Structure 1
Amino acid sequence: MRFRSCLAGVLAACCSAIVVAQPPEQHVHPRSEPGVGLGEIRFANSGAPSAQAPFLRGLALLHSFEYEEAAEGFRDAQHADPSFAMAFWGEAVTYSHLLWGEDDRDAARRALERLAPTREARLARAGTARERAYGTAVEALHSEGDLPSRVRGFAEGMRQVSASYPDDPDAAAFTSLALLFSAYVGELPPDARRAARDEAITFAERVFTQYPRHPGGVHYLIHATDEPDFAARGLEAARRYAAIAPEAEHALHMPSHIFVQLGLWDDAVASNERAWAASRAEVAARKLSNADLSFHALQWLQYGYLQQGQYGKARGLIDTARDVLAGVDLTNPLHVDGRYTVGWLSFAYAANTGDWSGPVCSTTYVPAAPGSSSARERSFRGSAIYQAAIANMMCGRDSTIESLRARVTSLAGGDVEAPLLKTTLLHARLLASIREGPRDLDALIAELPPAGRPPVGPPSTLRTDELLGEALLKAGRPREAVAAYERALQLTPKRSAALLGLSRARLAAGDRAGSVEAYCQLLANWHKADPDVPALPEVRNGAAAR
């Protein structure tokens, strides 16, 4: 659960995927079952006939990152056939949520040790040479090395499986996933990271083209193309994933990764409305804690509303989060999103509407971290420190840069990371130039870092180029402001705040036609906007000034 769930009833299904036999191997028991909402899986294996349905269900769920339910499926397969090594290796992979910043190697190793105490003994239990090749790759992922070397070993192992079994779609799908792991946490140099991303796209596209209802191919293609320059290659996958695996809540949310990168706000909203509703239905049906709700989908839903100018709905989600979390225990280390979501939503509302008089001044805070912190926890905590510091400044509680520096240091417990402090202070100085008039703007521009990577989803901070554009416009330098806003839109296409700034900057620079074009793009975003959005009359008039 947490950032995804699957719809009620999926675990009761005998099998939620279609399996089509691969070329036969020794002791392989291929089996076919009708799919009921998790996609189509092709994976011949040596497990007993009674292990087929739960194993295939677990595999389909794993490809859609429904990790807890996938682990249950694999454990059911183990119970049906205690010698079925692939079921143990499958369960081990369910504890590696590396694209979410989570990795429970201890749980994975406990699962593996139930099969046999050593790597060699486990590999000896493989039913076929193909299964042994899979096992070798999974064993590398959960070996004794550090995380970067483990994921690189997993990627190399999966490449070998794909090379040996080129007609195996799961081999290609897991190779794509392993390459994404390497690109994210493999500590690769920039060129190698780009190459890993490109290779991940190639493997995922191969699966999606040849097996268009395979959940792994479509899912990993979306992940691999999750930035503006590549998102068009993932658009067909985004359009189809929810229909391929409608019983996986993550499959309902995941298309919005592409929709956000392309500025398709109506699609992004629809995707996350479905995902949030599915999450609430699942929690209610299974009588789970509200800490298990998909607050990830809720954050993305609010961001879509904000880009549409539906500010009332966006603000209402802050109350929704507060209500569903009232009295809920969020101390479990796995409940990262729920722990930070009220503050995140409050800051996002202020940052995207410019309204710093509302919830952000009372609800943005830094929660106490649990005893052990995942990479995901550390990322959310860093964002929360930044958000709380900027909110304190905008709400009038920290009036100087030095007081802000002290605030960040205090929130971080005295151990503040240099990039976090640098970004917070840089944005604070840009905000001061906007609010109080330009001062040392050229010196500030000289300190700006190179353009960063596009955010994956809703930005957790203010956008540097948007702040710079506003400061330049305030300083009477509209042409430079135009350039800043255009850079912003390269990283976050069709983002409403950047389009509004670009419209104003082009008009101030004497580019009436360019201003009309930007206003028209923004008006398209705002075709469902609340009638009281402050800039809406300006945008309508600007779009009409042809």
Structure 2
Amino acid sequence: MIKIGRPIHLVLFTLITLTGFSCSEKKQSLLQADINELNLKRGALISCGPKDKQFGTVQFDISCSRKVKDEFNLALSLLHSFEYDEAEKAFTKIVDVQPECAMSYWGIAMSNFHPLWTPPSVAELKKGAKAIDIAQALTEKTERETDYINAIASFYDHWENIDHRTRCQSFERAMEKLQAKYPNDKEASIFYALALDAAADPADKTYKKQKKAGSILSSIYPNEPNHPGIIHYLIHTYDYPELAYLALPAARKYASVAPSSAHALHMPSHIFTRLGLWDECIASNQASIAAAQCYAKSAGMNGHWDEELHGLDYLEYAYLQKKENDLAKRQWDYLNTITKVFPDNFKVAYAFAAVPSRYVLENKLWIEAATLKIHPVDFPWQDYPWQKAILHFTRLLGNVHLGKLDSANTELKSLYQLHSDLLAQKDAYKANQVQIQITIAEAWIKLQEANIKEAIRLMSLAANMEDSTEKHPVTPGEVLPARELLGDMWLQLNKPQKALEAYEADLQKHPNRYNGLYGAYLSATKTGDQQKANYYYQQLAQVADLTKPVRLEQTTMRY
């Protein structure tokens, strides 16, 4: 209480002080309420790599107190390797120490973005948008930090009404402006390159945005050889058949730069897969899967981590190309023991659908394909129409090759419905992928109906459609390439020269695929081109152990 009779200047000073203190307390209380509403991830950093937690080297200047700068750089290293949960925990640690640090909320928003993975969930979008609201309201930040915050805000702006791709394009434009404003800021350039990759059109075969991103990253790399983002994004940037060779040095280095990241152990296999380097792909994913299993155990998950299934899909693909059927079957058997994965997302659904489908289709086990069961049955398949379509596509091909056209047409109707669902969701890319499956299916049904001309027309159309777009970054490749299937069809029609042309064209996009090489070898043999037959036989011998039991199609030719 202020006593009467005190000098007026002291009374005023006391009132001002008390009022100021009250406002400060109120602001802190409101800020803490906003932080609580974010429901942030917290806890000790989990890493299953080297004990000293090696995630690469990142330096990012922020205006927050010196005591949180090392933690910020660690969080940023995690973010660059897509260790999103751990990155959020690291940024949250900064929030708990210095809640007025605006860039920590930027980091939380970035951790919920994951631009080259599955789009954020509604919960992640709400968290990211709320984090940005807090960051924008805080006044203690530099102009540069404000620009970074506003750039990611462009992604979250009106997320309820604007689709993911359009918001990725908004982020790209914002990062372009930021990079132009701060040309000497290497992080601005690196994140701009990431934004270019995220906004790239899968149907753009000129790779305009990817090449621009690659040029930016390559210019920074010599002075930042241990920066995880540069190496990582170079791999994503060049994850295309025509460009993959450019990323091979980065692919062979990334795991040594960030060995504590399960994703860094896996990511090089994208390039190894593109180039048909199966032994390196297998080693990469074995290490990644082991790290992911360790992570799930360390995190106390009552199940498996999504990164493990992502690695399993790539490992299955590589084993099949080496004709390691026993090892490939072992992965499928193991997958069948998995019922709970955290979190449920796009790549988990893809692995559940693709691993069994790859095994039966690559081996042309049509009975098993026709009767393939959905696993797990309680997985939210309704949320993933494209992945569910893979299972119907597999069963359809099984039935059509067994001559069961009624069952095949039933599966085709399911594909039509899933295609319509994706169109309703305005997901043009995935709808197009299902349309390719539909066209393939219709082609093989027409072949069974002896409408050869229409079968070839449709199968050629499917191959051209697939060639005009790109696989999703999450996947190692289509469960069966359309142009390889065109080769199979020509071979079944006893047109080996046409078949050879199709196989050779497909091998340009999918080098060292076992079935493609075998199809080319068989076609060349049937045309009497012994030189080409010998060439493809030697290629097969380099890829796989030819002393192992042959596959079904190599003895019975059941196409």
Check if 1:252 corresponds to 2:265.
Answer: yes
CA distance in 2, matches of 1:465, 1:182: 27
Corresponding position of 2:215: 202
Q: Is the 8 Å Cα contact of residues 219 and 254 (structure 1) preserved in structure 2? A: yes
SS of equivalent to 1:40: coil
* 76-85 or 418-427, which deviates more: 418-427
Select 1:355's aligned residue among 341, 357, 365: 365
CA distance in 1, matches of 2:246, 2:420: 44
Write the letter of the residue equivalent to 1:468. Answer: L
Check if 1:511 corresponds to 2:524.
Answer: no
Q: Give matches, 1:361-440, under 5 Å.
A: 361-364=371-374, 370=380, 373=383, 377-394=384-401, 398-399=405-406, 402-409=409-416, 412=418, 415=421, 419=432, 422-431=435-444, 439-440=452-453
Q: Is the 8 Å Cα contact of residues 182 and 188 (structure 2) preserved in structure 1? A: yes
Q: Is the 8 Å Cα contact of residues 404 and 425 (structure 1) preserved in structure 2? A: no
**CA apart distance, 1:518:** 1.1
**CA apart distance, 1:425:** 4.2
Aligned in 2, Cα 1:269/1:63: closer, same or farther, shift over 3 Å? same
Q: Is the 8 Å Cα contact of residues 38 and 215 (structure 1) preserved in structure 2? A: yes
Write the letter of the residue equivalent to 2:65. Answer: A
Check if 1:87 corresponds to 2:87.
Answer: no
CA distance in 1, matches of 2:185, 2:135: 27
Select 2:45's aligned residue among 11, 14, 20: 11
Aligned in 2, Cα 1:41/1:416: closer, same or farther, shift over 3 Å? closer
* 434-443 or 86-95, which deviates more: 434-443
Write the letter of the residue equivalent to 2:357. Answer: F
Q: Is the 8 Å Cα contact of residues 78 and 84 (structure 1) preserved in structure 2? A: yes
* 378-387 or 357-366, which deviates more: 357-366
Aligned residues: 496
**CA apart distance, 1:239:** 0.2
- Cα root mean square deviation, aligned: 3.3
* 148-157 or 37-46, which deviates more: 148-157
**CA apart distance, 1:371:** 9.5
Check if 1:531 corresponds to 2:548.
Answer: yes
**CA apart distance, 1:499:** 0.7
Select 1:498's aligned residue among 495, 516, 531: 516
**CA apart distance, 1:448:** 4.5
Query: Structure 2, unaligned stretches of length 5 or more?
Result: 1-42, 424-430
Check if 1:97 corresponds to 2:104.
Answer: no
CA distance in 2, matches of 1:405, 1:359: 15
Select 1:297's aligned residue among 297, 311, 318: 311
Deviations 1:22-59 (A, max 9, x none): xxxxxxxxxxxx97410000211111122223222211
**CA apart distance, 1:487:** 1.4
Deviations 1:153-198 (A, max 9, x none): 221222233223333322121111111111158xxx848x832121
Select 1:140's aligned residue among 154, 171, 193: 154
Q: Give matches, 1:88-167, under 5 Å.
A: 88-104=105-121, 107-111=124-128, 113=130, 116=133, 119=136, 121-122=137-138, 124-126=139-141, 128-144=142-158, 146=162, 147-167=164-184
**CA apart distance, 1:463:** 1.8
Check if 1:37 corresponds to 2:54.
Answer: yes
Aligned in 2, Cα 1:394/1:369: closer, same or farther, shift over 3 Å? farther
TM-score by length of 2: 0.79
Q: Give matches, 1:209-248, under 5 Å.
A: 209-248=222-261
* 308-317 or 276-285, which deviates more: 276-285
Query: Structure 1, unaligned stretches of length 5 or more?
Result: 1-8, 18-33, 539-546
Q: Give matches, 1:20-35, under 5 Å.
A: none
Write the letter of the residue equivalent to 2:396. Answer: A
Aligned in 2, Cα 1:63/1:10: closer, same or farther, shift over 3 Å? farther
* 355-364 or 139-148, which deviates more: 355-364
CA distance in 2, matches of 1:64, 1:420: 28
Select 2:332's aligned residue among 308, 314, 318: 318
SS of equivalent to 1:423: helix
Corresponding position of 1:480: 498
Aligned in 2, Cα 1:320/1:370: closer, same or farther, shift over 3 Å? closer
SS of equivalent to 1:209: helix
**CA apart distance, 1:238:** 0.1
When Rg is computed on C-alpha atoms for both structures, the one with the higher figure is: 2
Aligned in 2, Cα 1:59/1:460: closer, same or farther, shift over 3 Å? same
Check if 1:453 corresponds to 2:474.
Answer: no
Write the letter of the residue equivalent to 1:350. Answer: V
Write the letter of the residue equivalent to 1:136. Answer: N
CA distance in 2, matches of 1:184, 1:443: 27
SS of equivalent to 1:533: coil
TM-score by length of 1: 0.81
Write the letter of the residue equivalent to 2:273. Answer: V
Aligned in 2, Cα 1:449/1:308: closer, same or farther, shift over 3 Å? closer
Write the letter of the residue equivalent to 2:326. Answer: G
Aligned in 2, Cα 1:169/1:36: closer, same or farther, shift over 3 Å? farther
CA distance in 2, matches of 1:282, 1:46: 33
Identity, % of aligned positions: 26
Q: Is the 8 Å Cα contact of residues 293 and 305 (structure 2) preserved in structure 1? A: no
* 141-150 or 52-61, which deviates more: 141-150
